[in-house]
Amino acid sequence: MNKNPLLTPFEEAPFSRIKNEHFTPAFEVAIEQAREEIEAITENSEEPTFENTIEALDYSGRHLQRISSIFFNLNAAETNPEIQQIAQKISPKLTQFQNDITLNQALFDRVKQVYEKQDQALLTPEQKTLLDKKFKSFSRNGAMLSDNDKQQLRKIDERLAKLKLQFGEHVLAETNAYELWIQNKADLEGLPESIIEAAAIKAREKEKEAGWVFTLDYPSFVPFMKYAKNRELRRELYLAFGSRGFHGDERDNKEVVLEIARLRYERAALLGYDSHAAFVLEERMAESPENVLEFLDELLEKALPAAKKELAELQEFARQNDGLSELQKWDTSFYSEQLRNRKFNLDDEQLKPYFQLENVIGGVFKVASLLFGLQFEETSDVETYHPDVKTFRVFDQEQKEVALFYADFHPRPGKRNGAWMTSYRGQYKYEGKEVRPHVSIVCNFTKPTENNPSLLTFNEVTTLFHEFGHALHGMLADTKYKSLSGTSVHWDFVELPSQILENWCYEEESLKLFAKHYETGEIIPMELVQKIKDSSNFLEGMATLRQLSYAMLDMAWHHSYPGEIPDIKAFETDASQKSQLFPETEGTCMSTAFAHIFQGGYSSGYYSYKWAEVLDADAFAHFKEKGIFDREIAHLFQEHILSKGGTEEPMILYERFRGRKPKIDALLKRAGLA
């Protein structure tokens, strides 16, 4: 076998040389290296100190972390059955190793000794935070349990690691397996030509002799639900999307979901917590399940009257136009788009010509340049895992390279749905050397066709800005310790940098930088910009209710005992009853494809999106006071939010930026709920 590229020193991920068979041996070697680094700490005969114990622990396992980031990012963005099999085998080993650390009594004894004896006055704020987090990572993960309970914790964690992977594989397989093959052109009525063309290309890819194929990938699913006049086909596609993992077959996720929830509850109970939510939220800005539920109820009280009023208007519009007596969930996107067009004379097809993907990328780069002085240079000398992936070197005002940036924008069979930011290497400082981050964003935007470039909907524009906001959090990180760097912050704080950047999509001063017609080069007319702003909170009450329903479902799964749930569908219906506007749809289930909470890191944390909206609206109001490109405010945001990572408590950092605690007023005003 060729020399393993993962076991030779590398700066950038050596994608072109990595073969699947390299991963398992690389993991085995890296785990052993990390184990030796831990042993060096525990066998140190010197008195435990911050440097020889806490710092040494944070710097351990760097090689393992890099291999893990490469592997699991590929499993999300460019997977195949072999990678999925490796993931199923390696995940329990990684979990076992992580437990070997947190349940290592000798290591905990040293950490505890430093925690109890260290003179806090001698530590920087960042060092104090690191010490506190390291101690809690042990105490919150079983270090003080009995030997029997430690063994039980190990079993739970290893099983959870496998179940989360299994959940994601089932959802991806369900998504890839479905296709809506249309052969009658009349069934395409209402769909824009660009979407029809993309569906024809998809049909050829799937070796159909004719017709058009629509899938459950967002660039196909979303426009079909929004524009297709054929209500029965909208229903069919909606049911396919809403029933992923809910078919009682080999890809069914009902038992997977139940087991994940039960094991999380058992794990929390073992550690002395009332619920998984109580365990998770102890380390969040919200602090407790009660605070989250109170926050959700406060928003529900504001949003519900507005949502009911909006629904009544939408229902009446559908009745007048098509004689529809009762709206169903597969009708909302279609009639919302029709009503929006009627009220504001605006639809996505008017806007898309002004949002060519390459121009929007250039626009978000320009915004980052005006705010933070960054420059982006596309490069072809960096290896990628797929030809679609673009790479950029990022420089600051002094022409110092601050980051490497990967961007992966289009759907394909081995890539999961949605959009996310991730990293291949974090930022930290070690032995006098500064290690700069390698950051990536992954999206699923419509691919270019024979006749058109990739043209984005306005929602996709805000998605790109959102993920790029996360990327800035990673790129501009400036901390000493890798575990406190970039997006390593409280989960209900991590969405602030991403959500605040979306605000620039609605501002004339920002849009005119990049919103240019792909054929004529004409800057987007200001009357369209005004329509975008006027329609920005269109049906905001209904949208808020939808987000609240997801957050309430998340809390229902994780803030109560899940061992007595005979019927997942009935459980869901009950959990979202307060926020439900539409009749229940038989045969669908949110939980069995709710990857955010059962595969990703949002369990007991979905409320974070709304929580962070309070922060982002309040923070952007600060920019608006002086100008959206005001360098003084931007500097404060970079200095106290983006560069600081998790080095101090989020509220302390926010107050330094804003001069006070956040207020909900700006969000309610922006949403039209005040």
Which residues belong to the active site? 467
Contact 33, 60 (CB under 8 A): no
| d(C-alpha 14, C-alpha 122), whole Å | 41
Percent of residues in the chain assigned helix, strand, coil, to nearest 5: 60, 5, 35
Query: Rounded to whole angstroms, what are the CA distances from 72 to 76, 91, 521?
Result: 6, 10, 40
- Four-point Cα dihedral 65, 66, 70, 72, nearest 10: 0
Residue pair 611/296 in contact by the 8 Å Cβ criterion: no
Burial 268-295 (b: 16+ CB within 10 A, else e): bebbebebbbbbbbeebbbeebeebbeb
- Amino acid of residue 37: E
List of residues 6+ apart from 36 with CB closer than 8 A: none
Single-letter code of the amino acid located at 555:
M
Partnered with residue 404 across adjacent β-strands are 393, 438
3-state secondary structure of 158: helix
Closest by alpha carbon to 502, among 461, 542, 530? 461
Please choose, from the candidates 261, 282, 575, the residue with its C-alpha nearest in 3D space to the C-alpha of residue 290: 282
In angstroms, rounded to a whole number, what is the distance separating the alpha carbons of residues 158 and 611?
31
The two counts, helices (H) then strands (E), for the chain are 27, 9
Residue 245 CA to residue 594 CA, distance in Å, equals 10
The Cα 336–Cα 539 span in angstroms is: 8
The widest CA-to-CA distance across the chain, in whole angstroms, is 82
Is residue 54 within 8 Å of 134, Cβ to Cβ? Answer: yes
Block residue for tokens 């959870």 = 160
| Token reading at 372 | 């933070």
Q: Which amino acid is at 502?
A: E
**What letter would DSSP give residue 607?**
T
Burial degree of 472 (CB within 10 A; 0-12, 13-18, 19+): buried
| Alpha carbons 567 and 245: distance in angstroms, whole number | 15
Q: What does the alpha-carbon distance between residue 168 and residue 600 come to, in Å, rounded to a whole number?
A: 9
What does 545-593 look like in DSSP terms, one character per residue? HHHHHHHHHHHHHHSS-GGG-S-HHHHHHHHTGGG--S---TT--SGGG
Q: How far apart are CA 364 and CA 410, in angstroms?
A: 18
Angle (CA) 131-132-138 rounded to 5° is: 95
**Are the C-beta atoms of 281 and 513 separated by less than 8 Å?**
no
Q: For residues 591 and 406, what is the distance between their CA atoms, to the nearest angstrom? A: 31
Beta bridge partners of 455: 356
Alpha carbon distance 89, 31 (integer Å): 14
